[in-house]
């Protein structure tokens, strides 16, 4: 039962085939599919029957071309494997799974240049919305976002000057809170250990520093960082460096949980008692923080919710009712655990 195929098309049914079979105009089929309310119930049923029988699926490319708008959410993250962004992306996917929107993820590798390139590529598709991680776009990237002609949500952080909308929390406050907690617990020589040191890590460091300075305990030698990407292995190594540099260290605030775990393992290996000799605090509160022995204090961030919230805001903006609250601060939560319970 080969239906006559056009010169180039793959031979799959088009909207015209459906229209013919249902005995209506093509435009009515188009409407029945997109705005069912505007087509009478009768025709709607007929059309649905024709669609089912032919197995018609609209061509998103033709749709995008004709309507000058693709049903695509562009998402830009600096890393695919970092659990933090994976959670945000998961939230985005889950929120969009019942919508007609497809998702396109770009991996910027923490590079502003790469971000610009991807923005260019994404923009050429006329996406329905853009979600980008971070608030430190290059001037050129920022311009691309401003001219994207679609809702833009910056996620992971909050800041004073959104391109359009923002969902996140203050990394500075998160860092300060963790450091203050260590101070309250009685630790004095509290180091900061950080890898990658992207802008968010920098702000956590700044928060840590503010707390330490307020306590009159800041010392630059307490800081150990590297631009190298974060890993558990690296956490262990950095901790050894930190200890070598400052043997009287009695606490560490880690950039993230991978580092914290590495520190914990090194303590085990070197028979350093946690929390007695060394207090450890992490950041993000991955699942394993609560199970480790001892369990590790961490700053819980609401990553999945950042994703879902960003989508909700973008969807609202697409629907025409832009949320009046353009900057949403989802906050964080200090999870006090054994590793700082002196």
> Where do contacts with a copy of itself occur on this chain (CB under 8 A)?
8-10, 57-62, 64-65, 68, 70, 80-81, 83, 86-87, 89-90, 93, 97, 102-105, 107, 120-121, 123-126, 149, 231-233, 235-236, 258, 261-262, 265-266, 268-269, 287-288, 290-293
Q: Which does 14 bind (CB under 5 to 8 A by kind): DNA, a copy of itself, none?
A: DNA
| Strand spans (E) along the chain | 72-77, 102-107, 129-133, 152-157, 165-169, 190-194, 223-225, 251-254, 279-284, 297-301, 327-329, 332-335
**Residue 15 main-chain phi, psi, to 5 deg:** -65, -30
CB of 203 to DNA, least distance (A): 40
Report in angstroms how near the CB of residue 95 gets to DNA at its nearest.
23
Residue 173 CB, shortest distance to a copy of itself, in Å, is 26
Instruction: Considering the complex, state which of residue 65 and residue 270 has its C-beta at the smaller distance from DNA.
Output: 65
> In which order are the strands placed within the sheet that holds 102-107?
102-107, 72-77, 129-133, 152-157, 165-169, 327-329
CB of 96 to DNA, least distance (A): 19
Length of the chain: 342
Residues 302, 298, 171, 148, CA torsion sign: negative
The interface partner of residue 188, options being DNA, a copy of itself, none and the CB cut-off 5 to 8 Å by kind, is none
What DSSP designation does 7 have?
S
Partner whose binding site includes residue 199, from DNA, a copy of itself, none (CB under 5 to 8 Å by kind): none
Whichever of 191 and 262 has its CB closer to a copy of itself, that residue is: 262
Shortest separation between residue 148's beta carbon and a copy of itself, angstroms = 10
Cα torsion through 286, 287, 290, 294, rounded to 10: -70
Q: Which CB, 248 or 271, lies closer to a copy of itself?
A: 271
Which residues contact DNA by CB under 7 A? 6-10, 12, 14-16, 23-28, 30-31, 33-34, 38-40, 42-43, 56, 58-59, 62-63, 65-68
DSSP, residue by residue, 279-334:
EEEEEE--GGGGTSSS--EEEEE-HHHHHHHHHHHHHHHHTT---S--EEE--EEE
Q: How far apart are CA 226 and CA 235, in angstroms?
A: 10
292 binds, among a copy of itself, DNA, none (CB under 5 to 8 A by kind): a copy of itself
| CA pair distance 275, 297, nearest whole angstrom | 10
The nearer residue to a copy of itself, 97 or 248, going by C-beta atoms, is 97
Residue closer to DNA by CB (options 59, 338) is: 59
80 contacts which partner out of DNA, a copy of itself, none, CB within 5 to 8 A by kind? a copy of itself
Closest CA relative to residue 328, chosen from 316, 340, 319: 316
Least separation in angstroms between residue 31's CB and DNA is: 6
268 binds, among a copy of itself, DNA, none (CB under 5 to 8 A by kind): a copy of itself
Question: What are the angstrom distances between the C-alpha of 242 and each of 10, 190, 194, 205, 283?
Answer: 63, 10, 11, 15, 18
State in angstroms the smallest separation of the CB of 121 from a copy of itself.
7
Within 13 A of 229's CA, how many CA atoms are on the CB side? 8
Smallest distance from the beta carbon of 263 to a copy of itself, in angstroms? 10
Query: Choosing among a copy of itself, DNA, none, which partner's interface includes residue 104 (Cβ < 5 to 8 Å by kind)?
Result: a copy of itself
DSSP label at 100? S
């Amino acid at each position: 039962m080969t239906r006559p195929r056009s010169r180039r098309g793959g031979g799959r049914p088009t909207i015209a085939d459906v229209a013919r079979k249902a005995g209506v105009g093509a435009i009515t089929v188009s409407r029945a599919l997109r705005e069912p309310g505007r087509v009478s119930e009768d025709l709607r049923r007929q059309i649905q029957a024709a669609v089912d029988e032919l197995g018609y699926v609209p061509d998103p490319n033709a749709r995008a071309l004709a309507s000058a708008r693709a049903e695509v959410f562009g998402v830009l993250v600096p890393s695919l494997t970092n659990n933090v962004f994976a959670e945000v992306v998961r939230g985005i996917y889950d929120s969009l799974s019942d919508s007609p929107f497809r998702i396109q993820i770009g991996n910027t590798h923490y590079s502003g240049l790469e971000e610009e390139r991807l923005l260019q590529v994404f923009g050429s598709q006329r996406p329905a919305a853009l979600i980008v991680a971070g608030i430190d776009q290059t001037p050129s990237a920022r311009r691309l976002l401003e001219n994207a002609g679609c809702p833009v949500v910056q996620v992971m952080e909050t800041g004073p000057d959104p391109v359009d909308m923002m969902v996140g929390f203050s990394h500075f406050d998160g860092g300060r809170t963790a450091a203050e907690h260590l101070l309250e617990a009685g630790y004095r020589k509290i180091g900061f250990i950080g890898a990658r040191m992207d802008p968010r890590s920098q702000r956590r460091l700044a928060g840590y520093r503010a707390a330490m300075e307020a306590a009159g305990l800041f010392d630059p030698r307490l800081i150990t960082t590297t631009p190298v990407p974060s890993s558990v292995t690296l956490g262990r190594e950095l901790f050894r460096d930190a200890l070598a540099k400052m043997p009287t260290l009695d606490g560490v605030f880690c950039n993230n949980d991978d580092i914290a775990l590495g520190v914990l393992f090194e303590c085990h290996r070197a028979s350093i008692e946690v929390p007695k000799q060394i207090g450890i605090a992490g950041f993000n509160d991955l699942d394993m923080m609560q199970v480790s022995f001892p369990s590790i204090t961490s700053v819980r961030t609401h990553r999945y919710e950042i994703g879902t919230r960003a989508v909700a805001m973008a969807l609202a903006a697409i629907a025409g009712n832009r949320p009046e609250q353009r900057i949403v601060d989802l906050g964080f939560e200090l999870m006090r655990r054994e590793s700082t319970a002196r």
